[in-house]
């Protein structure tokens, strides 16, 4: 009991909670920013056959084939903004590319006949996208979006590499003050447990969505 109160003293708990808040704020901002720009990028890559389509393909492939930690370090040292914003920026530019591919997966799952049907009813290209294609696309990609959220929450822990004190960072700082191995192991279990609770909740929703999806016409395969 004494051991537990030495680890989870009021100060320590507040310290860790502050880290969790940073983690959640960065993850949530990243997901929102990435979803917005990822949708644009995915649409452009899929439907523009000119220079814009090529540029978004280059963007997507560049970020998909290089590690996140590289962008975290590069943006931290090359872009002169505060650490916290540099964290959001690097996570966002990277996750945007992943989101773009998720959105593209959704777009490709929609039958081309939908376009033809909409055109025959007098819809223009953008109207078709706005009212017919995008709503169906987002409905199909809910499971992939949720798994991307899990990945993003986990990815925030890379930010400790540039000393942004998110949950992992705070935990490791606290761990440095502990001497006994029992304290260290309990803290590790606590950190892992907190991430687990958040992500397991999300992944349970994914599973429910997936089983529901089997009744749909075409399930979208999730790639982590």
Applying CB under 8 A, the residues found at the interface with another protein are 61-62, 64-70, 73-74, 77-78, 108, 111-113, 150, 153-158, 160-161, 168, 172, 175, 181, 184-185, 188, 191-192, 195-196, 199-200, 203, 214, 217-218, 221, 223-224
For residue 157, which of 16, 14, 19, 11 has the smallest C-alpha distance? 19
Whole-angstrom Cα distance, residue 34 to residue 74?
19
What gap in Å lies between CA 162 and CA 5, rounded to an integer? 30
Determine phi and psi for 179, rounding to 5 degrees.
Answer: -105, -40
- In the complex, minimum distance from the CB of residue 37 to another protein, in angstroms, rounded to a whole number: 20
Query: Based on CB atoms, which residue is closest to another protein, 36 or 200?
Result: 200
Q: For residues 83 and 87, what is the distance between their CA atoms, to the nearest angstrom?
A: 6
Residue 23 CB, nearest distance to another protein (Å)? 10
Instruction: Using the minimum distance from each CB to another protein, give the nearer residue, 57 or 142.
Output: 57
Give phi and psi for 67, each to the nearest 5: -75, 150
Q: How far is the CB of 175 from another protein (least distance, A)?
A: 7
Q: Which is nearer to another protein, 10 or 181 (by Cβ)?
A: 181
When the beta carbons of 35 and 107 are compared against another protein, the nearer one is: 107
* Shortest Å, Cβ 179 to another protein: 10
Choose between 82 and 122: whose C-beta lies nearer to another protein: 82
Half-sphere exposure of 198 (CA within 13 A, CB side): 18
Report the run of H or E that residue 159 belongs to, with start and end.
Answer: none
Shortest Cβ 136–another protein spacing (Å): 13
Q: Name which of 65 and 120 has its Cβ closer to another protein.
A: 65
Q: Within the chain, where are the H helices?
A: 2-7, 10-47, 51-64, 68-78, 83-108, 113-120, 125-127, 134-155, 167-176, 181-213
Least Å distance, CB 181 to another protein, is 4
């Amino acid at each position: 009991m004494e051991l537990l109160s030495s680890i989870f003293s009021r100060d320590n708990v507040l310290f860790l909670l502050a880290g969790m808040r940073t983690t959640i704020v960065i993850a949530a901002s990243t997901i929102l920013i990435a979803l917005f720009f990822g949708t644009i990028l995915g649409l452009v890559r899929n439907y523009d056959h000119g220079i814009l389509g090529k540029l978004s393909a280059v963007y997507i492939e560049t970020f998909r084939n290089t590690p996140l930690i590289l962008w975290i370090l590069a943006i931290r040292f090359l872009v002169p903004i505060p650490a916290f914003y540099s964290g959001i920026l690097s996570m966002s530019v990277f996750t945007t590319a992943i989101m773009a591919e998720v959105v593209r997966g959704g777009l490709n799952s929609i039958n081309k006949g939908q376009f033809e049907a909409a055109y025959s009813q007098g819809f223009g290209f953008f109207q078709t996208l706005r009212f017919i294609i995008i709503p169906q696309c987002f409905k199909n990609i809910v499971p992939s979006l949720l798994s991307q959220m899990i990945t993003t929450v986990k990815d925030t822990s890379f930010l400790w590499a540039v000393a942004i004190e998110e949950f992992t960072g705070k935990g490791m700082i606290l761990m440095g003050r502990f001497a006994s191995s029992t304290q260290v192991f309990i803290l590790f279990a606590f950190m892992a447990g907190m991430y687990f609770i958040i992500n397991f909740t999300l992944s349970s929703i994914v599973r429910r969505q997936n089983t529901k999806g089997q009744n749909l016409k075409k399930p979208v395969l999730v790639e982590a």
